[in-house]
Amino acid sequence: MIELKHLRTLTSLRDTGSLTATATSLHLTQSALSHQLKDLETRIGGQLFLRKTRPVRFTSEGKILLNLADEILPRLASAENELAGLKEDVNGRLHMAIECHSCFQWLMPALKEYQVNWPNVTLDFSSGFGFEPLPALMNGELDLVITSDIQPRSEVHYEPLFDFEMRLITAVNHPLAQSDHITPEDLSDQTMLSYPVQKQRLDVFKHFLQPAGVDPVKWKQADNTLMLVQMVSAGLGVAALPNWAISEFSRQGLITSIPLGNGLWRRLFAATRNSEKSKHYLQAFFTTARQQCQSHLEGIKMA
């Protein structure tokens, strides 16, 4: 009965104050505008405004339809803008770097699920361990960095994903295995096993050992989580890993995990350019990653 064109015509008539100006605004002829208004009055069975008044004076029927227009037209415009934004974001690029070896455990399933819903977003990633990824993010080489290391900059947005606890893992017969918690000094005479990353970039060094002025007697590196766990289980050293990355190995009795101090909790972020954080395909990635981690990772806390 009442069409959107009728509501737009009435709001234009109110804003311009005359039929001539309304016809010009809507790119209609005077006769076409008059025909449209008479048709609407026939449909509602009443007069919309008083003729030959300037500015136009609306009747009760006209005011009811103007109130309707004021409610509906802004909502329609908002929906149209949102739909246009979705259309623009369908084709995107998500090149990422990962500053967390263990993150591959949940990232690959998350990316697989993400691609089902966003097949036109180009995905690519690098380890992020052999270079500083933040400058690459800011200059456009990367679009997202998975990291627990915040370096506040106005150009970078850090989207929180989840909180996790770093724990020390030892062989089950290691002297430290029976400890209630680990102090930095406990590690001064240990061989510390880690991923192939500079120790200055490791959470256990930056936030546990270095503040206490402690450095283990020896550092060794292993390429992946499974190799680290196997080396620890064989008594070749100790390591600090996220709680969710070691829960299954601990359950199998291959290792023992112990809190570092009163609990060394860290937060994982997805860093993106601040100017692009609202893109729909990025927001969808944040949501997918959080849902995937909440469903499959033990011991984490959602940020």
Query: Distance (Å, rounded) from C-alpha 197 to C-alpha 107?
Result: 19
Position 90 scores a pLDDT of 63
Q: Is the pLDDT of residue 214 over 80?
A: yes
Q: For residue 196, what are its two tokens?
A: 């192939």
Position 156 scores a pLDDT of 94
Residues 142-153, mean pLDDT to the nearest whole number? 88
Q: Is the pLDDT of residue 287 over 90?
A: yes
Query: Distance (Å, rounded) from C-alpha 215 to C-alpha 199?
Result: 10
Max distance between CA atoms of the chain, in angstroms, equals: 98
Q: Are 242 and 263 in contact (CB under 8 A)?
A: no
The DSSP result for 65-133, as a single string, is HHHHHHHHHHHHHHHHHHHHHHHHHSSEEEEEEES-GGGHHHHHHHHHHHHHH-TTEEEEEE--SSS-H
Q: Is the pLDDT of residue 163 over 80?
A: yes
Q: What residues are paired with 158 via a beta bridge?
A: 271
Query: Distance (Å, rounded) from C-alpha 195 to C-alpha 177?
Result: 22
